[in-house]
């Protein structure tokens, strides 16, 4: 929406900002966010902010936008590991030919050794993994290339291909954020406000993830993942929590500040045992049936809904 004076005289869609999100697929938690007010900023321009947060033995998964020499060398310098899809523009030298590594769930897997060189002529040796896909991507690509500095003794080529598949989880994260927490509000034109709202939604997502983790600990992962609705849990967080803050005095909440993560987890597990799961049950929609498009009749531009229902 064009409520801001600066936007009223342009027909172009306004971009209220951009953020790089670090997501841990094992924890199902957003562990870091790097916001930027300029919506035209390239993701690559924000990578230098990420490097100081990288720790030794971290394993980072990323798409080809993160396949940048400075970022790859920056991770290696921190003694961290990466599994990143190769960008076509990345220069490299082959050390060995491609060799078959068998089949994975997504296609035939091959591997070779390569090396890359930065502007200071420093060399980094990598494994380059090729996956010939059983089905093309949505962009029509029939193969993808993945770069990693993980040793083969830690993860074979097929394992690397399987791990890279988890990258889609961050795509579904954004969908769940928007669907359950309305993380992209049209009226928030000011970049600071839009990014703040976006980050609040991420905090709410982490709360929901913590709740579901506690429920999994009590009732089992399969039951919670297949039967419990994110929508209903998000409703509890956004609606019921406000009443809880009114009904329960502040001193009863402050006790949680002194708990260690282990102690807090025990409290979560204890509370999760009292949750009535049927109140949060999913109601999955059945498969859509193909619809025949009705023909337009200009003689009858309107119909009475009540008469049609009555037959």
Q: Which residues of 182-205 are buried (b: 16+ CB within 10 A; e: fewer)?
A: ebeeeebbebeebbebbbebbebb
- Mean pLDDT score across all residues of the chain: 89
Answer yes or no: is pLDDT of 1 > 60. no
Predicted confidence band of residue 188 (pLDDT cuts 50, 70, 90):
low
Average pLDDT over residues 249-254: 88
Of 9-13, 30-34, 205-209, 227-231, the poorest mean pLDDT is in 9-13
With beta carbons less than 8 A apart as the criterion, state whether 186 and 1 touch.
yes
Buried b (16+ CB within 10 A) or exposed e, 231-251: eebbebbeeeeeeeeeeeeee
Look at residue 179 and tell me whether its pLDDT is greater than 90. Answer: no
Q: What local confidence, expressed as pLDDT, does residue 17 receive? A: 84
State the average pLDDT over residues 268-297.
Answer: 88
pLDDT band at 187 (very low <50, low <70, confident <90, very high): low
Q: How far is CA 27 from CA 24, 219, 237, in A?
A: 5, 18, 19
Give the pLDDT band of residue 3 (cuts 50, 70, 90).
Answer: low
Could you tell me which residue, 14 or 161, shows the higher pLDDT? 161
Dist. CA 28–CA 206, nearest whole Å: 8
User: What pLDDT, on the 0 to 100 scale, is given for residue 183?
Assistant: 67
pTM as predicted: 0.80
Burial of 148 (0-12, 13-18, 19+ CB in 10 A): buried
- Cα angle vertex 121, ends 56, 68, to 5°? 55
Q: Is the pLDDT of residue 151 over 90?
A: yes
pLDDT greater than 80 at residue 154: yes
**Residue of 90 and 237 predicted with greater confidence:** 90
Classify burial at 304, counting beta carbons within 10 Å of its beta carbon; exposed 0-12, middle 13-18, buried 19 or more. exposed
Q: Grade residue 194 by pLDDT with cuts at 50, 70 and 90.
A: confident
Q: Is the pLDDT of residue 152 over 70?
A: yes
């Amino acid at each position: 929406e064009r409520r801001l004076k600066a936007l009223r005289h342009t027909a172009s869609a306004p971009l209220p900002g951009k953020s790089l999100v670090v997501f841990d697929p094992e924890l199902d938690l957003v562990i870091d966010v790097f916001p930027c007010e300029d919506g035209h900023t390239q993701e690559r321009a924000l990578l230098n902010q990420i490097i100081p947060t990288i720790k030794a033995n971290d394993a980072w998964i990323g798409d080809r936008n993160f396949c940048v020499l400075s970022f790859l060398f920056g991770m290696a310098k921190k003694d961290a590991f990466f599994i990143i899809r190769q960008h076509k523009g990345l220069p490299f030298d082959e050390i060995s030919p491609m060799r078959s590594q068998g089949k994975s769930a997504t296609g035939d897997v091959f591997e070779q050794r390569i090396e890359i060189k930065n502007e200071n002529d420093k060399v980094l040796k990598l494994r380059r993994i090729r996956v010939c896909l059983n089905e093309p991507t949505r962009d029509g690509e029939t193969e993808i290339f993945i770069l990693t500095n993980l040793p083969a003794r830690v993860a074979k080529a097929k394992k690397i291909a399987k791990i890279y598949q988890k990258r889609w989880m961050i795509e579904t994260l954004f969908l769940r954020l928007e669907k359950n927490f309305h993380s992209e509000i049209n009226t928030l034109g000011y970049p600071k406000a839009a990014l703040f709202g976006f980050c609040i939604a991420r905090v709410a997502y982490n709360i929901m993830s913590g709740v579901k983790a506690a429920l999994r600990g009590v009732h089992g992962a399969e039951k919670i993942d297949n039967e419990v609705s994110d929508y209903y849990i998000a409703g509890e967080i956004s609606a019921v929590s406000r009443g809880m803050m009114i009904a329960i005095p502040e001193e009863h909440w402050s006790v949680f500040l002194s708990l260690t993560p282990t102690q807090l987890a025990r409290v979560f597990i204890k509370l999760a045992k009292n949750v009535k799961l049927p109140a949060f049950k999913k109601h999955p929609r059945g498969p859509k049936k193909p619809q025949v498009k009705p023909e337009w009749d200009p003689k009858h531009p309107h119909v009475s809904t009540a008469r049609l229902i009555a037959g």
